[in-house]
Structure 1
């Protein structure tokens, strides 16, 4: 396996591409209609990529991870594909000095430039303004500025993304496709009842439960929301509970978190990886999901909350992603305690007044179901085909057929 936990492929990238085209043709797509998309980096722990690409074959696309940035260089001139970049700050992994980060960013941009010059289409999905725990700010801003220039298409999920990133980099409106973050409907296990989930977590029926979910790192705002909890106890006469669940972060942060919650019976901490079947316990047991982040352009946790029909608390900049949700998303001003307490009260009122027997709010659940991965994926691939206004588009290589035949397929 590679460093992302993916199986190593004995084939070279050219062979993978030829096999992908073979699979498309076998499924009834003509060479003129078949498309190939390679994505980077491939992230196993987050199901987002699998969700976004769920309807690929149905829409005439074969999707494969790009094993390395330079793998594209080995393709023949006739093989022109779409290269889909996601978390581009991955280029800074394991780097300790700014000069190393500067060199890595420059090298990445040079490679993408060569790929574009070779005729490949560049697609970039913007997940965050900057990476959550950005260490090399100047270098990452440079990376994103250049990527915005080089990209043929820019996929955004938050409709306000161009405005929200403007302080760091500019996005050309004629490159943008807006396809929302899919919900997790039919992705995570969801068969445990609210009563069973509460029993497993030690919650009473009259507890008003708030959930902070995700990796235990400073930028998630967990410490801030513990302060909010203190204020909520006044409102709920001591019945408020906070569930904190997610993989352990760095030792110094964990030590601080353990110290803060030591001796508190109103906070439940589960510091471990939560698998796809266990996740339902936390979301079914809770009343409100808190996303107390100081900065967040998109949020898988918020979309998971919607999937389970849970009202959520989100920072103001995240609210546009939920602008069509009729009820359930309440926003706060980041780092403003009063604002977050007010949002938490409002979300709790929705949960306590409108939840069904299993703890979900039907309006929220229906909204999420309409944005399931297959629906969003179909919209995504249709948008790629329509982007250049050419029906089947010009994403696929005309010369692929020759390479395919030449490989003896």
Structure 2
């Protein structure tokens, strides 16, 4: 496999957030050179030069393993532990080394290749090391026991800098030592020469486990921080020797940078809205469209492979329709796999662009079974939101945007609540787009509406769902709906529009569909659903069971397996 005595490359960042990472990369590199290794330290503009190395050590989560396809790949995690743990490509490192035992424990929850510790080091011969300036992430590091290069260098130089706490001192064997003993211990046990010796030994031992997945699947845009769906899709990539890598920045930038080495790369495109929606003029939209299409053509022409998931026929609140249509048709013509999550997708798209059925792979949108906590019960959830046991509660949870029809939902609710004093409405989600302040004011003006216009944490979502009797999706248009499958996850019957993928659910016991173009249909359907699926306790219990059964049928594992099969055909091919 990998020669420990071959060429080593260390990837580090050049930004101010990672000063300690840069110091660590150079310190370890110098010590490895002193041991006879060939070593290079590369900053962002030269990361692609890592290809061909025998061992690659990455000190920043901004880099990722695909820069070194055949090397033994090591993540060396310093201050930015949480950012590393959330990186979708972390499981593709062959070894994940932490700079403290507590960090190692946190990383072990993200990948089974973590657990070993390689602390930061220093040059024991340096004098006048200067102040040990904390990195911007030090507040987070205080709880991990991380000791920075600058702090160790200061102690080695005979200074007495403040420490972040007892955790770091204990891990470094410095707790309870006086200044002279601490200085001597740092110079003997934490010199870079010792770190070089330790990492060589760790690599030699680690290679016996075999490498992590080797094939990167680059995806764009990266919405993993606020939406778990992409992480759920990629959960089984390891089964096809692949791993996900988020594409940073703009799609065109990445394509232009990676096209010279695109042969065999796999790109998975999701939502296209970020390419054009922020353009301020038609000229800007034309420039963005031409640059993106030119970059895509270059990537495909150079041997890059591509899949596209159609989340929406066109972006919501589409701004530059003509440009979106041209982009969508190009993707439909050139993506080797077009992933749809509902069988109506090709038909729904036909008035706008044509998708070749031979390219289509259907993998249904899953529920969120096992993704969100469900331990808070109905009684406690209602208590937290100020609701009584006898209230009949509707919930509309998800991103708050104009196309989702919250305005008309409030109209319908006001009419129904005037007749039923026990009716309540829950509204929660991150707002965006125009008209938000008007919606906020309407919700705040009605004491029967409980609203949170803001991000709902994963642990809190169960409160807004378990407190409810019925989920309502008052949308005017839809293709796929995460809110629909989310309702199943929490056992809620659903009222939704007769459109897109929801058409499959017509005549299902726990689902009621309305005409999305008719406000009267929404009110009529909602009134019937409250009577049948909330007031009637027997039918309500059956609806809850049916929703939970649907959630289990649409388990995320099925979606992950289907995506892995689709992506695997590109990786192997």
- How does the TM-score come out when normalised to structure 2? 0.61
Are 1:41 and 2:221 matched, yes or no?
A: yes
Aligned-pair CA distance for 1:47: 0.7
Identify which range, 15-24 or 183-192, moves more after superposition: 15-24
Aligned-pair CA distance for 1:293: 1.0
CA RMSD across the alignment: 3.0
| Match among 275, 279, 302 for residue 461 of structure 2 | 279
1:308-362 deviation line (CA, Å, top 9, x unaligned):
0111122111354654994322211113122112321343322443344xx9701
Aligned-pair CA distance for 1:201: 1.1
Judge conservation of contact 2:471–2:487 (CA < 8 Å) in 1.
yes
Match of 1:66 in 2: 247
Match of 1:114 in 2: 298
Judge conservation of contact 2:263–2:302 (CA < 8 Å) in 1.
no
Judge conservation of contact 1:325–1:364 (CA < 8 Å) in 2.
no
Match of 1:302 in 2: 484
Aligned-partner Cα distance in 2 for 1:384–1:114 = 21
Match of 1:14 in 2: 67
Are 1:188 and 2:364 matched, yes or no?
A: no
| Match among 230, 233, 238 for residue 421 of structure 2 | 238
Identify which range, 52-61 or 344-353, moves more after superposition: 344-353
Aligned-partner Cα distance in 1 for 2:506–2:233 = 20
Are 1:372 and 2:542 matched, yes or no?
A: no
Match of 1:405 in 2: none
Q: Quickly say closer, same or farther: Cα 1:95–1:77, change in 2 above 3 A.
A: closer
Judge conservation of contact 1:216–1:246 (CA < 8 Å) in 2.
yes
From the CA coordinates, give the structure whose radius of gyration is larger.
2
Q: Quickly say closer, same or farther: Cα 1:60–1:29, change in 2 above 3 A.
A: farther
Judge conservation of contact 2:217–2:244 (CA < 8 Å) in 1.
yes
Structure 2 counterparts to residues 199-278 of structure 1, below 5 A: 199-233=383-417, 237-249=420-432, 253-278=435-460
Match of 1:401 in 2: none
Q: Quickly say closer, same or farther: Cα 1:16–1:342, change in 2 above 3 A.
A: farther
SS in 2 for 1:277: helix
Q: Quickly say closer, same or farther: Cα 1:341–1:181, change in 2 above 3 A.
A: same
Match of 1:101 in 2: 285
Q: How many residues align?
A: 380
Judge conservation of contact 1:84–1:122 (CA < 8 Å) in 2.
yes
SS in 2 for 1:39: strand
Match of 1:402 in 2: none
Identify which range, 53-62 or 152-161, moves more after superposition: 53-62
Structure 2 counterparts to residues 85-100 of structure 1, below 5 A: 85-100=269-284
Q: Quickly say closer, same or farther: Cα 1:12–1:382, change in 2 above 3 A.
A: closer
Identify which range, 207-216 or 303-312, moves more after superposition: 207-216
Match of 1:146 in 2: 330
Match of 1:50 in 2: 231
Aligned-pair CA distance for 1:123: 0.3
Are 1:176 and 2:360 matched, yes or no?
A: yes
SS in 2 for 1:198: helix
SS in 2 for 1:269: strand
Match of 1:389 in 2: none
Aligned-partner Cα distance in 2 for 1:27–1:134 = 50
Are 1:327 and 2:509 matched, yes or no?
A: yes
| Match among 296, 304, 313 for residue 129 of structure 1 | 313
Match of 1:157 in 2: 341
Q: Quickly say closer, same or farther: Cα 1:256–1:246, change in 2 above 3 A.
A: same
Match of 2:571 in 1: 395
Aligned-pair CA distance for 1:15: 2.9
Aligned-pair CA distance for 1:258: 3.7
| Match among 353, 361, 365 for residue 544 of structure 2 | 361
Q: Quickly say closer, same or farther: Cα 1:57–1:96, change in 2 above 3 A.
A: same
Judge conservation of contact 2:444–2:451 (CA < 8 Å) in 1.
no
Identify which range, 189-198 or 202-211, moves more after superposition: 202-211
Aligned-partner Cα distance in 2 for 1:220–1:175 = 31
- How does the TM-score come out when normalised to structure 1? 0.83
Q: Quickly say closer, same or farther: Cα 1:112–1:76, change in 2 above 3 A.
A: closer
Aligned-partner Cα distance in 2 for 1:159–1:114 = 32
1:276-324 deviation line (CA, Å, top 9, x unaligned):
0001000000111111111111111111111101111221113546549
Aligned-partner Cα distance in 2 for 1:204–1:367 = 28
SS in 2 for 1:90: helix
Judge conservation of contact 1:112–1:150 (CA < 8 Å) in 2.
no
